[in-house]
Amino acid sequence: MVDNNATLNLGEQSLDLPVLEGSCGPDVVDIRKLYAQTGNFTYDPGFTSTASCESALTFIDGEEGVLLHRGYPIGQLAESSSFMETSYLLLNGELPDQDTLNDFTHTITRHTMLHDQLRQFYQGFRRDAHPMAIMCGVVGALSAFYHDSTDISDPEHRKISSHRLIAKMPTIAAWAYKYSIGQPFLQPDNSLSYTGNFLRMTFGVPAEEYEVLPAVERAMDRIFILHADHEQNASTSTVRLAGSSGANPFACVAAGIACLWGPAHGGANEAALNMLQEIGTPDRIPEYIERAKDKNDPFRLMGFGHRVYKNYDPRATVMQKTVREVFEALNVTDPVFETALRLEELALSDDYFAEKKLFPNVDFYSGIILSAIGFPTTMFTALFALARTVGWVAQWNEMISDPGQKIGRPRQLYTGPTQRDYISLDKR
Ligand code: CMC
């Protein structure tokens, strides 16, 4: 893997640093010995130039707008795979054959129920709690209910806890929604698909049969595929950092959910639809574009821009297509979609967005689909968390399985006071 060396000159000192080559993407300068050999740290807040780990799961080429899971392009997975199959792929590295996929789906299906005492746990939340607040709490609480799978040094425990997290997340998210609208919780129906089951637990009521519409089920499954993993994003890095101390996977995923909630990350889907609704009609778009460009205005175009993509986010392409499919299947339209298309057109023809390479990201169109299906905006990020759980556990497993894994412990550039003596209160 070592291709060549980079030479770093620090005053009189000169240091050869190995340059490591991955299978795709930029080479990395290995600075692990820098501090020991020179007493210097590197400085990279926000990790704009830092590879925090080695990973074989997901690759993004931000310049070209490419996203691969275990080598497979996201467009192909969204078109031809299922969320269960993509989950297996992320966890295990290869596409399953039919029997293996059946076994995996069966295992996940058998873990969809929640411990009955968790029902009471929901009652502790305020009636109008945000679903993400409930998700953080309930997922963290899973470690109090499933002690038998929290020995992270045991690969079998890691596997069971991973399956439990993926399987229980739809039930947890659906119940968060049911709780917020005062409807009874529905138990999973294991005769349905992963996604169909989630739709029924979310929109069904005990008094009536719920029919899962195949087109909606397919669209929802595709949305899950599009959110399944995304390399070392903020929430995944949070899960890895939490896990690096040896914390159990339920606690780590709860930390990931907390990070995902922010509007710069998973919370952007909720913020994007709110913004589009606030804009209302296409004639108001220029006003919002001007605001987004104004340095003195904190407003940003939500669902636009990305740390890694400096081209069209390939997930947004699939999302835009899926909006049309869902509208057609449900025989609905939404003027917000017209506003979104026009906003995209105007922003992409504006110098500010062109120069900064700001394009629509996954969150720009997803809210329009979710809203058409019937989800309130507060559920959008919860759905992102549901799907991203597979990426979180796959990345967590990859990290824990690495024999060289160390606790994540960054250092800092200290700019506070230098050492000084304590002054007693009566002398201040
Ligand atoms: N609207 C207006 N200006 C923007 C936007 C935007 N959405 N995004 C970035 N910029 C500008 C920003 O002001 C900065 O300008 P300057 O260089 O003059 O200071 C420049 O573009 C670079 O932005 P940055 O904030 O330094 O870039 P970043 O890589 O740290 O941030 C981002 C990436 C996604 C947080 C940011 O683009 C953003 O806030 N977008 C809106 C929120 C959003 O849609 N987030 C979802 C991301 S995709 C889903 C996910 O992975 O969670």
Mean residue pLDDT of the chain comes to 95
Query: CB of 230 within 8 A of CB of 58?
Result: yes
- Check residue 147 and give its pLDDT: 85
Q: Report CA(302)–ligand 1 centroid distance (Å).
A: 9
**What is the phi/psi pair of residue 304, to 5°?**
-125, 140
Pairing label, strands 58-61, 28-29: unpaired
- Model pTM? 0.94
- Check residue 1 and give its pLDDT: 56
Query: Taking 70 as the threshold, does the pLDDT of residue 16 lie above it?
Result: yes
Query: Taking 60 as the threshold, does the pLDDT of residue 2 lie above it?
Result: no
Report which protein residue has its CA nearest ligand 1's atom 20: 356
Residue 275 tokens read as: 């913004």
**Residues 20-25, mean pLDDT to the nearest whole number:** 96
Same fold, 2-51 and 79-406: no
Rounded (10°) CA dihedral 261, 265, 269, 272: 120
Domain locations along the chain? 2-51, 79-406
Question: 283-335 pLDDT, tens per residue?
Answer: 999 999 999 999 999 999 999 999 999 999 999 999 999 999 999 999 999 99
What distance in Å separates the CA atoms of residue 324 and residue 75, rounded to the nearest whole number? 16
Question: 184-203 pLDDT, tens per residue?
Answer: 999 999 999 999 999 999 99
Scan for tokens 């349905």, then name that residue.
192
For ligand 1, mutation pick of 44, 358, 383, 388 (most atoms within 8 Å of CB): 358
Residue 79 tokens read as: 């078109």
How many H helices and E strands in the chain?
Answer: 18, 6
Report which protein residue has its CA nearest ligand 1's atom 35: 264
**Residues 354-375, mean pLDDT to the nearest whole number:** 94
What distance in Å separates the CA atoms of residue 189 and residue 183, rounded to the nearest whole number? 17
What distance in Å separates the CA atoms of residue 383 and residue 425, rounded to the nearest whole number? 52
Query: CB of 83 within 8 A of CB of 225?
Result: yes
In the annotation, is 69 catalytic?
Answer: no
Of the candidates 363, 402, 421, 426, the residue annotated as catalytic is: 363
| R_g over Cα of the chain | 23
In the annotation, is 363 catalytic?
Answer: yes
DSSP 411: -
Q: Which residues contact ligand 1 via a Cβ below 6 A?
A: 230, 233, 264-266, 268, 292, 300-307, 356, 358, 361-363
H-helix or E-strand spanning residue 19: strand 13-20
**Residues 361-377, mean pLDDT to the nearest whole number:** 94
Query: Taking 70 as the threshold, does the pLDDT of residue 261 lie above it?
Result: yes
Query: Taking 70 as the threshold, does the pLDDT of residue 10 lie above it?
Result: yes
Rounded (10°) CA dihedral 273, 371, 391, 20: -40
Q: Report CA(121)–ligand 1 centroid distance (Å).
A: 37
**Residues 69-95, mean pLDDT to the nearest whole number:** 98
DSSP 96: -
Residue 184 tokens read as: 């009874």
Percent of all residues in the chain with a pLDDT value above 90, rounded to a whole number: 95
Q: Report CA(159)–ligand 1 centroid distance (Å).
A: 36
Residue 117 tokens read as: 């005492």
- Check residue 193 and give its pLDDT: 97
Residue scoring higher pLDDT (2 or 89): 89
The 3-class SS string of 223-258 reads HHHHHCCECECHHHHHHHHHHHCCCCHHHHHHHHHH
Query: Taking 90 as the threshold, does the pLDDT of residue 365 lie above it?
Result: yes
**What's the CATH fold of domain 79-406?**
Citrate Synthase; domain 1 (1.10.580)
What distance in Å separates the CA atoms of residue 397 and residue 317, rounded to the nearest whole number? 30
Q: Report CA(307)–ligand 1 centroid distance (Å).
A: 7
For ligand 1, mutation pick of 356, 357, 383 (most atoms within 8 Å of CB): 356
Tell me whether residue 391 is exposed, middle or buried, using C-beta atoms within 10 angstroms of its C-beta: 0 to 12, 13 to 18, 19 or more: buried
CA distances for 391 relative to 83, 104, 123, 256, angstroms: 12, 16, 29, 11
Q: Report CA(353)–ligand 1 centroid distance (Å).
A: 10
Of the candidates 69, 221, 306, 334, the residue annotated as catalytic is: 306
Q: Report CA(304)–ligand 1 centroid distance (Å).
A: 7
Question: 96-153 pLDDT, tens per residue?
Answer: 999 999 999 999 999 999 999 999 999 999 998 999 999 999 999 999 998 888 899 9
Report which protein residue has its CA nearest ligand 1's atom 41: 302
Q: Of ligand 1's atoms, which has the minimum distance to the CA of residue 292?
A: 2
For 63-81, give the DSSP string.
Answer: TTTEEEETTEEHHHHHHH-
- Check residue 4 and give its pLDDT: 86
**Residues 361-372, mean pLDDT to the nearest whole number:** 93
Structural class in CATH, domain 2-51: mainly beta
Query: Taking 90 as the threshold, does the pLDDT of residue 172 lie above it?
Result: yes
